[in-house]
Amino acid sequence: MSETRTTPQDITAAVVASFDDCSDARLREIAQAFARHLHDFARDVGLTQAEWEAAIGILTATGHITDDRRQEFIMWSDSMGLSMLVDALANPLPEGATESTVLGPFYVPGSPERAYGANIAEEPDAGTPALVHGRVLDSDGAPIAGAELDVWQNGANQLYAVQDPEAEEDHLRGRFFTREDGSYAFVAVRPTPYTIPHDGPVGNMLAATGRHPWRPAHIHMIVRAPGHRTLTTHIFDADSDYLESDAVFAVKPSLVRHFEPRAADDPERPDGVEGEWCSVESDFVLVRD
């Protein structure tokens, strides 16, 4: 019987080698790199048996809380900055193009198509009305007609429609198309900061490590146009709290916008808007595909 002892490095080498016969080169590369980095992490921190068991428990709890309305694994990815890192790696952009951000967990496809300048708030007291307007342009500055803006946001109660069982399904959601000059406009509400769901494993991690679950106020948009790369992005309220400490690391300075307060008697007040309101202008520059 051999007296050669198995080292931690031997275990790592065996796991990496176990993928050598994988016929998919990319899958082989990912699996072997994942094994190496995972084993290196355990060695670097001197992972204990109790800590390993706790990690398995966290993964188990993450699976249990995930359902068709809540994706806790995406919350892990977002809260660890991995979602933003993958987005940045996938979307290298030339100077002048609008930067992308994460999709987030509250997007629902199939928002209603709405007319130029229409209001996306279908519930009363949703928040301070906000006229959002601007143009969609190509990288040469030419307007893009017929570009689609798929928009969703939260309201004064900090909830998205998908989170609020009392809200209409299409509340604070809509799809708009640019006119011949590339212009778009719609009436939203001024968004509010809100917390990511923090009553599960991700929230436990944030509390244990001294982090908060807040996101700064923002409006989501997906901008699509034939012949151009689809853009998933936010516009952030410059006056919002948490711009410097977004729980999912999605704030980019180029996406911060000023929501300008407007008086109730302002002659540019949109139809159907009463009382004080605000406006924000934001152009979007797409890259040709």
Q: State the pLDDT confidence band at 41, using cuts at 50, 70 and 90.
A: very high
- Considering the domain boundaries, does residue 157 fall inside one? yes
- Considering the domain boundaries, does residue 59 fall inside one? no
Contacting residues for 97 by C-beta, under 8 A, at least 6 apart: 139, 285, 286, 287
CB-based burial label for 262 (10 Å; 0-12, 13-18, 19+): buried
Q: What is the 3-state secondary structure (H, E, C) of 157-209?
A: CCCCHHHCCCCCCCCCEEEEECCCCCEEEEEEECCCCEECCCCCHHHHHHHHC
- Considering the domain boundaries, does residue 2 fall inside one? no
Q: Is the pLDDT of residue 69 over 80?
A: no
- Mean per-residue pLDDT for 165-171? 89
DSSP per residue over 123-169, as a string? STT-SSEEEEEEEEEETTS-B-TT-EEEEEE--TTS--GGG-TTS-T
Q: What is the pTM of this model?
A: 0.91
Both 92 and 195 in one domain: the answer is yes
Cα dist from 165 to 62, 162, 170, 171, 222, whole Å: 23, 7, 12, 11, 24
- Give the closest residue to 233 by CA, choosing from 245, 218, 220, 224: 220
CB atoms within 10 A of CB 61: 14
- Considering the domain boundaries, does residue 98 fall inside one? yes
Express each pLDDT in 99-138 by its tens digit.
999 998 889 999 999 999 999 999 889 999 999 999 999 9
- Considering the domain boundaries, does residue 37 fall inside one? yes
Domain residue limits at 24: 8-47
Name the pairing type of β-strands 277-281 and 129-138. Answer: parallel
Both 140 and 195 in one domain: the answer is yes
Residues 179-192: b if buried by 16+ CB within 10 A, e if exposed: eeebebbbbbbbbb
- Considering the domain boundaries, does residue 1 fall inside one? no
- Mean per-residue pLDDT for 27-56? 98
- Decide: helix, strand or coil at residue 281: strand
Both 36 and 87 in one domain: the answer is no
Q: State the pLDDT confidence band at 210, using cuts at 50, 70 and 90.
A: very high
Both 114 and 219 in one domain: the answer is yes
- Mean per-residue pLDDT for 85-90? 94
Both 38 and 129 in one domain: the answer is no
Distance CA 276, CA 32 (A): 58
Distance CA 53, CA 56 (A): 5
Distance CA 238, CA 179 (A): 28
Q: State the pLDDT confidence band at 1, using cuts at 50, 70 and 90.
A: low
Distance CA 250, CA 259 (A): 19
- Mean per-residue pLDDT for 161-181? 93
Q: What is the DSSP letter of 10?
A: H
- Considering the domain boundaries, does residue 92 fall inside one? yes
Both 42 and 141 in one domain: the answer is no
Both 40 and 83 in one domain: the answer is no
Both 12 and 99 in one domain: the answer is no
Both 116 and 172 in one domain: the answer is yes
Express each pLDDT in 222-276 by its tens digit.
999 999 999 999 999 999 999 999 999 999 999 999 999 999 999 999 988 989 9
Distance CA 142, CA 138 (A): 5
Contacting residues for 284 by C-beta, under 8 A, at least 6 apart: 98, 134, 135, 136, 137, 147, 149, 221, 223, 231, 233
- Mean per-residue pLDDT for 190-202? 96
Number of structural domains the chain divides into: 2
- Considering the domain boundaries, does residue 56 fall inside one? no
Token pair for residue 251?
Answer: 């704030």
Res 2: pLDDT: 65
Name the pairing type of β-strands 231-237 and 277-281. Answer: unpaired
In the chain, % of residues over pLDDT 90: 89
